[in-house]
Amino acid sequence: MRGAMVAPLAVFVVVAFSSVGCSRRSKKHKREPLQIATTGLPDATEGVAYSFAVQATGGNAANYTWSVS
């Protein structure tokens, strides 16, 4: 069997802020800013399905939309 070819994969994560439900918050309800905790992605193989979960901390998940292009 031939060796698998590894193709470079460019992943761009887009985080969009939602303006729905914005309001002033008191200091006791302050949230930490969103930070992407994942530092890298494993290599992909051409022709093979690829899936990987990107981890993030802080922020409010209800206010972000994630997409990959």
Enumerate long-range contacts of 24-33, CB under 8 Å, 24 or more apart: 31/58, 31/59, 31/60, 32/57, 32/58, 32/59, 33/58, 33/59
Q: What is the pTM of this model?
A: 0.44
The pLDDT assigned to 45 comes to: 92
Q: What is the block-wise mean pLDDT of the chain (69 residues), using blocks of 10 residues?
A: 54 55 59 87 90 85 75
**Domain assignments of the chain as residue spans, ordered by start:** 6-68
